[in-house]
């Protein structure tokens, strides 16, 4: 009887081993597919054209921060000391960020900022909840800038998010509530396209306060600026 029991146990062990041998390739395949899925997810976050950006610095409005770039000039270098890119999928937006100290700022050791100068607004300055001239960490987004073909002076929405102390704000050009569009022009061909994003000296933006999820309009301000955006052949920026 002992021998028959021993044979039965051996058969069961062999059956389990055979089942494991069949399952192991399936487990390895699943792990391989999972790895590919992760890579695909990262790739989908890198569907961008990396760019460099340069403000026209002529006093009032929106202009470069006081800190120079890694090359000693005022340009913001995508992947090097700032986040600067255009989305190739979905909205095709332009993005420039110095907000919160990007990984590129940390790597370069340079804290890039953006200057806001409201001084041109004269009597309206009394409604400002902060100093009329200040440097901020900011996130700028302009809608539908990247295009397959060139275009001239198309109206686009511009939003800048920034904070002063513990208070959050948005500066918006969107043709709503007395504000106006910014104008965008795309010239050149890949890989040397150039985009000009500009607000004229008379165009107004809406300053909004966002306090604990409650947003309200502070006032409207003239904020002239021009940003020249240069396409680069750097690797895509992963957002």
pLDDT interval class at 42 (50, 70, 90): low
Every domain of the chain and the residues it spans? 1-44, 46-231
Higher per-residue pLDDT: 18 or 24: 18
Mean pLDDT of the chain: 85
Predicted local distance difference test score (pLDDT) of residue 159 = 98
Q: Are 114 and 64 in contact (CB under 8 A)?
A: yes
Average pLDDT over residues 52-63: 94
Which DSSP string corresponds to the chain?
Answer: -HHHHHHHHHHHHHHHHHHHHHHHHHHHHHHHHHHHHHHHHHHHTT-EEEEEEEE--SSSEEEE-SS--TTSSS-EEBTTTBEEEEESSTT--EEEE-TT--HHHHHHT----EEEE-GGGGGGGGG-SS-SEEEE-EEEEETT---SS-EEEEEE-EEEEEEETTEEEEEEESSSTT---EEEEEES-TTS-EEEEEE-TT-EEEEEEEETTEEEEEEEEE--EEEEEEE--SPPPP-
| pLDDT tens by residue, 159-195 | 999 999 999 999 999 999 999 999 999 999 999 999 9
Predicted local distance difference test score (pLDDT) of residue 38 = 33
pLDDT interval class at 90 (50, 70, 90): confident
pLDDT interval class at 213 (50, 70, 90): confident
Predicted local distance difference test score (pLDDT) of residue 25 = 35
| pLDDT tens by residue, 221-231 | 999 999 999 99
Predicted local distance difference test score (pLDDT) of residue 36 = 32
Q: Are 50 and 87 in contact (CB under 8 A)?
A: no
């Amino acid at each position: 009887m002992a021998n028959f029991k021993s044979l039965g146990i051996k058969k069961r062990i062999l059956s389990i081993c055979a089942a494991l041998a069949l399952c192991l390739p399936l487990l390895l395949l699943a792990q391989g597919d999972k790895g590919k899925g992760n890579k695909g997810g990262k790739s989908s976050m890198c569907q961008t054209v990396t760019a460099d950006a340069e403000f026209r610095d002529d006093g009032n409005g929106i202009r470069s921060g006081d800190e120079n770039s890694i090359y000693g000039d005022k340009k913001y270098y995508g992947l090097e000391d700032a986040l600067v890119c255009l989305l190739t999928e979905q909205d095709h937006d332009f993005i420039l960020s110095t907000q919160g100290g990007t990984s590129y700022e940390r790597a370069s050791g340079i804290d890039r900022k953006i200057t806001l100068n409201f001084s041109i607004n004269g009597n309206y300055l009394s409604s400002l909840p902060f100093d009329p001239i200040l440097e901020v960490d900011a996130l700028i987004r302009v809608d539908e800038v990247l295009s397959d073909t060139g275009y001239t002076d198309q109206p686009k929405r511009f939003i800048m998010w920034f904070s002063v102390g513990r208070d959050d704000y948005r500066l918006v050009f969107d043709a709503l509530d007395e504000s106006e569009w910014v104008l965008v022009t795309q010239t050149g061909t890949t890989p040397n396209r150039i985009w000009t994003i500009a607000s004229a000296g008379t165009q107004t933006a809406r300053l909004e306060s966002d306090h604990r999820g409650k947003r309200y309009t502070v006032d409207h301000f003239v904020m002239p600026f021009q940003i020249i955006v240069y396409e680069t052949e750097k690797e895509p920026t992963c957002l």
